[in-house]
Amino acid sequence: MVPPVNYASLRALEAAERRRSYSLAATERYVTHSAISHQIRQLELSLGISLFVRSGTQMLPTPECSRLASRIRRALNEIDQALAETSARQGAAVTPLLLSVMTDFAMFWLIPQLGTFTAQYPEIELTVAPHTNITPPDPRTADIGIWHQKATAHGYRSVRLTEDSVICVCSPDFAARYPDLGNKQLAEVPLLRFGSRSWREFFEAAGIEDPPPEKGPVYRDAGALLQAVISGQGAAMIRCHMAAPFLARGELVRIGTAEVPAQLDYYVTWMEDHPRKKDIDTFVTWLRENLSAENRE
């Protein structure tokens, strides 16, 4: 018969298996690294097996650990829901969900919309962590991810958020300096370049026979590129979703009608049997509904 184990040890095991890290589990549980290590060690002694093996900076769960954690996760979810329904405390503190999100999406869509989400769901707190690399991080390091690529880790789900197109825009001041500016005249004005995409495809869509620009500043971050356009440094290719609020406020103007499909999609990613699945589902539904509403407009 297995000796009794304490509740904190089960919480430690679930978090460490999901995060693949004692340090991240400790941060989530508001305890020290040594406390997580001690709690898991006590479980290993009680069960008579090893639950984790170290690989570099990660603590990788054994197959037995993953099977156990999956069942514990479901049980803890039930316990959490029962406690929430029974508790008389309103507005009790909850651990924020860690949201890792591409920097451009965060700055120009998510953050301006977050007030609406918070007002609608005040019980769900988010910690927003910007991510800049096209390659997503280990999905276990966050509760929710909004990245340019799907997660391939077992037990994770990735859903494409929306299709998008790229258009050409500039600032009103820039447009005033070139009053007859249209797609056909793009080769004659300063064009800002994005590190991961040439102007070639856009030139072809606009019917421009000139070669794409090979000189001038190159921006590797879409947010920095947008700021350069707003400041009047030149015209640039910008995603429709990113440009839309600036076009509506008159801070940007569209040049011509040509557009090309965006090369990179956005995917929202989460662990399917996450202990906060209900809150994550609420956020994902809100996110997709608001993006769909913008598409209809």
pLDDT per residue over 265-284, tens digit each?
A: 899 999 998 888 889 999 99
Q: Are residue 102 and residue 148 in the same domain, yes or no?
A: yes
Which residue in the block uniquely carries the two structure tokens 């910007």?
130
Q: Are residue 76 and residue 134 in the same domain, yes or no?
A: no
Residues 220 and 214: beta-carbon distance below 8 Å: no
Phi-psi region of 11 (alpha: psi -120 to 50; beta: other; left: phi over 0): alpha
Contacts of 164 (CB under 8 A, 6+ apart): 239, 240, 241, 261, 262, 265, 266
pLDDT exceeds cutoff 70 at 94: no
Tell me the mean pLDDT in the region 140-165. 91
pLDDT exceeds cutoff 70 at 90: no
- pLDDT (0 to 100) of residue 76: 85
- Tell me whether residue 203 is in a domain: yes
Of 58, 88, 118, the last residue of a domain is 88
- Tell me whether residue 2 is in a domain: no
- Tell me whether residue 186 is in a domain: yes
Q: Are residue 41 and residue 174 in the same domain, yes or no?
A: no
Residue 7's pLDDT band (cuts 50, 70, 90): confident
Per the structure block, which two tokens stand in for 30? 């508001």
- Tell me whether residue 1 is in a domain: no
- Tell me whether residue 145 is in a domain: yes
- pLDDT (0 to 100) of residue 294: 65
Tell me the mean pLDDT in the region 173-194. 91
CA distance 106 to 100: 9
- pLDDT (0 to 100) of residue 156: 93
Residues 187 and 173: beta-carbon distance below 8 Å: no
Helix (H) or strand (E) holding 203: helix 200-206
Residue 4's pLDDT band (cuts 50, 70, 90): confident
- pLDDT (0 to 100) of residue 80: 77
pLDDT exceeds cutoff 70 at 59: yes
Of 54, 70, 88, the last residue of a domain is 88
Of 57, 88, 119, the last residue of a domain is 88
Q: Which structural domain range is residue 125 located in?
A: 97-163+265-295
Q: Are residue 158 and residue 283 in the same domain, yes or no?
A: yes
CA distance 192 to 272: 41
Instruction: Provide, rounded to the nearest whole percent, the portion of the chain with pLDDT above 70.
Output: 94
Tell me phi and psi for residue 262, to 5 degrees: -65, 140
Helix (H) or strand (E) holding 68: helix 63-86
- pLDDT (0 to 100) of residue 162: 81
CA distances 274 to 1, 6, 72, 140, 185, Å, are 29, 21, 11, 10, 52
pLDDT tens, 110-132? 999 999 999 999 989 999 999 98
Residue 30's pLDDT band (cuts 50, 70, 90): confident
- Tell me whether residue 232 is in a domain: yes
Tell me the mean pLDDT in the region 227-234. 95
pLDDT exceeds cutoff 80 at 88: no
- pLDDT (0 to 100) of residue 56: 83
Q: Are residue 131 and residue 170 in the same domain, yes or no?
A: no
Q: Are residue 170 and residue 257 in the same domain, yes or no?
A: yes
Q: Are residue 37 and residue 111 in the same domain, yes or no?
A: no
Q: Which of these ranges, 42-51, 78-87, 136-145, has the smallest mean pLDDT?
A: 78-87
Number of folded domains that form the chain? 3
- pLDDT (0 to 100) of residue 6: 84
- Tell me whether residue 108 is in a domain: yes
- pLDDT (0 to 100) of residue 89: 55
Q: Are residue 138 and residue 169 in the same domain, yes or no?
A: no
CA distance 123 to 132: 29
Q: Are residue 256 and residue 272 in the same domain, yes or no?
A: no
CATH number, domain with residue 248? 3.40.190.10
Q: Are residue 206 and residue 68 in the same domain, yes or no?
A: no
Per the structure block, which two tokens stand in for 229? 């356009």
pLDDT exceeds cutoff 90 at 78: no
- pLDDT (0 to 100) of residue 29: 87
pLDDT exceeds cutoff 70 at 92: no
For the chain, the farthest-separated pair of C-alpha atoms sits apart, in whole angstroms, at 84
Q: Are residue 137 and residue 112 in the same domain, yes or no?
A: yes
Q: Are residue 158 and residue 272 in the same domain, yes or no?
A: yes
Q: What mean pLDDT value characterizes the chain?
A: 88
- Tell me whether residue 211 is in a domain: yes
pLDDT exceeds cutoff 70 at 1: no
Residue 133 one-letter amino acid: N
- pLDDT (0 to 100) of residue 93: 56
